[in-house]
Amino acid sequence: MSKIAEGLLYSESHEWVKVEGNIAVIGVSDFAQAEMGDITYVDMPDEGDEVEKGEDFGALESVKASSELYSPVSGKVVEVNSELEDAPELINEDAYAAWIIKVEMSDEAELEDLLDAKAYAEIAK
């Protein structure tokens, strides 16, 4: 059973969001990393890139599969987790500590479409 962190918001495509003011810290859920297996590469956008809610912004690659990452919010990428370039396995070690990007949100109302931990638990079975 994968763990689901309380206090975060989740997308149905298994990304999580931690809200810090108008910044959305985005990562991939423990459920998603467990399904993928050992992650070997994280494809991330560049700082300054714009992301759109529901559109792909990168990908995870593992020994088993490749999976697109979909942005749960729209906005401008203000930071990428450069540690993942050399150590993508950090996502396997702790999916909730290994965030992927930080986005300055252009429409905080988009957060209302995301799931809380209880609702996400229902789809991550």
Domains in the chain (CATH in brackets) are 9-123 (2.40.50.100)
Residue range 23-77, pLDDT digits in tens: 999 999 999 999 999 999 999 999 999 999 999 999 999 998 899 999 999 999 9
- pTM for this entry: 0.96
Residues in the chain: 125
User: CA separation (Å) from 36 to 61, 81, 95, 103?
Assistant: 8, 20, 12, 24
Answer positive or negative: Cα dihedral of 105, 108, 110, 114.
Answer: positive
Residue with tokens 């479409």: 113
Beta pairing partners, 16: 10, 27
Angle at the Cα of 80 from the Cα atoms of 77 and 81, rounded to 5 degrees: 155
Residue range 66-97, pLDDT digits in tens: 999 999 999 999 999 999 999 999 999 999 99
Please compute, for residue 91, the number of CA atoms within 13 A of its CA located in the half-sphere on the CB side: 33
Q: 49 is written with which tokens? A: 């890139």
Q: Longest C-alpha distance within the chain, in Å?
A: 37
pLDDT of 110 over the 80 cut = yes
Q: Tell me the Ramachandran region of residue 87: left when phi exceeds 0, alpha when psi lies from -120 to 50, beta otherwise.
A: beta
